[in-house]
Structure 1
Amino acid sequence: MAEGAEVVRVAVVDDHPVFRLGMVGLLGSLPGFEVVGQAASALEALALLGSGQEPSADVVLMDLHLGEGSGIEVTRDLVRRHPGLRVLVVTMQEDDESVAAAVRAGARGYLVKGATPEEVERAVRAVANGEVILGPSVAARAMATLLTGRTAARVSFPELTDREREVLDLVARGFDNATISRRLVLSPKTVRNHVSNVLAKIGAPDRAAAMLRAREQGLGGD
């Protein structure tokens, strides 16, 4: 926070200029907010916020799709470098996989782009205060998931990271890299790297062998 007036310093990362500029204008018009920067790509976001001892912003509004880059990966990188930085995802996507991926990456909030100005303001203030917040539609589905009583299954392939296990699960379902990229909100290059790492770690000579091994371990189911 800025000294004295409890000003929330905000940065906006979105590759759509109309939305980005509109969000910058909205936040700049609200009392208690200071827009300290904006970025249109993953590289610009990391240049703006990723260097230095302290980030220039308290809260970052982050889109998931940044052209060739992924807002998930940028979020993970920024939070790793600056654990106190709060990321609020603002995106068109509200499917469970995107929400889960954002939260695992370190996001503290998740809104869809149809949110009202009042909802945006509340969400930014809440995240700045250390709360975790989900938009109404996202929260409703999250609560429904909790109420189903789903429990965690035994972890397969403990040598893999969580992200690699997600990729392997989708490989076991028969999805190609392009589909995995869309579902996990990752760049195609990142997916290719994950698949290569998975094959090496589990000792599978090719994708078909990895699919078979994954299914034997219970991955790739509904």
Structure 2
Amino acid sequence: MSIRVAVVDDQALFRAGIALIIGTQPDLELVAECASGEDAVRLVQESSGIDVILMDVLMPGLGGIEATSAITALPDAPRVLMLTTFEDDATVAQAIAAGASGFVLKDARAELLLSAVRSVADGTAVLARSAPLGPFARGVAASAPVPPEFETLTASERTVFRHVVAGLSNREIADVAFLSEATVKSYVSRILAKVGARDRVQLVLFAVRHGLTD
């Protein structure tokens, strides 16, 4: 089954380039494109056939971060991969807080962009650089009491939870916890379901907001 992608960018030439790149991949399908944040929100409200949105940060009118916040608040929202021409911690933090599942530079190689789309569709967080999500999330999230959902995690799930929050991949968690990658993936899925997080980005925000990053 193809990963259904939409691209939101005010530059027609950039959208055309993304369309060409997506069109070369048998497992990806470009299903929609638009030029503004307002149109992106309407697109998601009117369509349930999108898995990943490639969202420009800077656009006239409703910007990409504001549009992402509106989109991720909708039921069964697609995952959002932010695209930008620059990289700084504040923008990354704002994108994560808005609910974005990834952040990639516009001048990234096509292979990196395609890999990011697949990773985000699979529920894995993607940053433009190799770094844990925690430092960026801490810049925008305030702590709150630990919710009862966290108490439902088993000891093994809490161990995997800490590793995910620390920024480890499934393979890295498998190595340090002496588990198979399939087992780790199963643990992560159960953790996300129990705490009501959609993906790893939301899980990190959950941890930060409730003082569970240590």
Q: Give the TM interval when normalised to the shorter protein.
A: 0.5 to 0.7
Q: Give the 3-state SS of the residue equivalent to 1:50 in structure 2.
A: helix
Distance in 1 (alpha carbons) for counterparts of 2:46 and 2:142: 39
Report the AA paired with residue 96 of structure 1: D
1:88 to 67, 81, 88: 81
Assess if the C-alpha contact under 8 Å between 2:79 and 2:101 holds in 1. Answer: yes
Distance 1:86 1:38, change over 3 A: same
Distance in 2 (alpha carbons) for counterparts of 1:12 and 1:37: 7
Structure 1 stretches of at least 4 aligned residues deviating more than 3 Å after TM superposition:
142-146, 150-155
Q: Map Cα deviations across residues 156-203 of structure 1 (whole Å, 9 max, x no partner).
A: xxxxxxxxxxxxxxxxxxxxxxxxxxxxxxxxxxxxxxxxxxxxxxxx
1:73 to 53, 57, 66: 66
1:33 to 21, 28, 31: 28
The alpha carbon displacement at 1:50 in A equals 2.2
Q: Map Cα deviations across residues 127-159 of structure 1 (whole Å, 9 max, x no partner).
A: 0001111123xx34x57958xxx899987xxxx
Distance 1:143 1:100, change over 3 A: closer
Q: Give the 3-state SS of the residue equivalent to 2:115 in structure 1.
A: helix
Distance 1:144 1:80, change over 3 A: closer
1:13 to 8, 17, 21: 8
When the two structures are superposed, what TM-score results if normalisation uses the length of structure 1? 0.58
Q: Map Cα deviations across residues 41-67 of structure 1 (whole Å, 9 max, x no partner).
A: 122212211235xx2210000001111
**Structure 1 segment 97-176 matched on structure 2, within 5 A:** 97-136=90-129, 139-140=130-131
Distance in 1 (alpha carbons) for counterparts of 2:72 and 2:80: 8
RMSD of aligned Cα (Å): 2.5
Unaligned runs of 5+ in 2: 144-214
Count of paired positions: 142
Report the AA paired with residue 51 of structure 1: E
Distance in 2 (alpha carbons) for counterparts of 1:111 and 1:151: 19
